[in-house]
């Protein structure tokens, strides 16, 4: 996994609550068996006027000019600012894959859906929770300032605005550790193989109905 340490990036505001993973990456793109290539289809139905299909060349598709990701001032954005309950609905990890593949590696919102939040950490995408009033302030700033960037420092758990205003955020110690180092948590878990085996040995005796479906 790609590590996330510190990012200074252009911010794009998506001023909607309850953005679901069907909107982030529609179902037809879930037929792919790869982890990459979803970026051109991020927010497909909001971004384009036609209906996208897997592996389509998006460079000539008719775009919805009013959608934020299509506005010239937000091209190259690396930080997404959005509203409550971002990533709700389907568990599809294709959602953070699409976000990352597009070039966004930090999403800032007042709250996230649980599964999406988890999925981000597995893919080098940092989801940051800020308070509603802090979010409102950022939405105002980004609307007022073309080329608005933020600096996100995971080690310090802090977001800094161009004017030097700082917002601190919480993140679980283990998730932070893995994201900073880009660690594969399967290898970490396999270091505990003996504990897993001992548990299974005991459970085979105390709850044998849990074993042997094949």
The DSSP secondary-structure symbol of 191 reads: T
Please pick, from the candidates 6, 75, 168, 199, the single residue that binds other proteins as defined by CB under 8 A: 199
Rule CB under 8 A: say whether 56 interacts with other proteins.
no
> Can you spell out the DSSP letters for 117-154?
HHHHHTTT-EEEE--HHHHHHHHHHHHHSTT-EEEEET
Q: How far is CA 156 from CA 78, 81, 128, 132, 165, in A?
A: 19, 20, 13, 21, 14
Rule CB under 8 A: say whether 67 interacts with other proteins.
no
Please pick, from the candidates 62, 72, 144, 207, the single residue that binds other proteins as defined by CB under 8 A: 207
- Size of residue set near other proteins by CB under 8 A: 61
Q: Dihedrals φ, ψ of 173, to 5°?
A: -60, -45
Rule CB under 8 A: say whether 113 interacts with other proteins.
yes
Q: How far is the CB of 203 from other proteins (least distance, A)?
A: 8
Q: How far is CA 92 from CA 20, 30, 109, 126, 205, in A?
A: 10, 8, 19, 17, 36
**Residue placing its CB nearer to other proteins in the complex, 162 or 199:** 199
| CA–CA distance, 58 with 41 (Å, rounded to integer) | 8
Residue with tokens 């996230």: 112
Subset of residues 121 to 140 that bind other proteins, contact rule: CB under 8 A: 122-123
Rule CB under 8 A: say whether 45 interacts with other proteins.
yes
**Residue placing its CB nearer to other proteins in the complex, 136 or 147:** 136
Instruction: Name the one range near other proteins by CB under 8 A: 4-12, 70-78, 157-165, 187-195.
Output: 187-195
Residues 2-31 as x/- pattern, contact with other proteins by CB under 8 A: -------------xxxx-x-xx--xxx-xx
């Amino acid at each position: 996994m790609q590590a996330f340490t510190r990012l200074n990036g252009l911010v794009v505001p998506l001023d909607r609550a309850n953005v679901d993973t069907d909107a982030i990456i529609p179902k037809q793109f879930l037929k792919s068996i790869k982890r990459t290539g979803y970026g051109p289809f991020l927010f497909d139905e909001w971004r384009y006027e036609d209906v996208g299909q897997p592996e389509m060349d998006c460079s000539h598709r008719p775009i919805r000019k009013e959608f934020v990701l299509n506005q010239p001032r937000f091209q190259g954005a690396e930080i997404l600012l959005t509203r409550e309950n971002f990533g709700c609905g389907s568990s599809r990890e294709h959602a953070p894959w699409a976000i990352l593949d597009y070039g966004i590696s930090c999403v800032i919102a007042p709250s996230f859906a649980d599964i999406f939040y988890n999925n981000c950490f597995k893919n080098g995408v940092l989801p940051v929770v800020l308070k509603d009033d802090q979010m409102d302030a950022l939405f105002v700033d980004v609307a007022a300032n073309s080329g608005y960037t933020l600096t996100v420092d995971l080690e310090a758990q802090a977001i800094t605005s161009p004017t030097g205003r700082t917002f601190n955020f919480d993140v679980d110690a283990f998730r932070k550790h893995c994201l900073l180092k880009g660690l594969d948590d399967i290898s970490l878990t396999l270091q505990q193989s003996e504990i897993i085996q001992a548990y299974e040995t005991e459970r085979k005796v105390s709850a044998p109905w849990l074993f042997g479906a094949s």
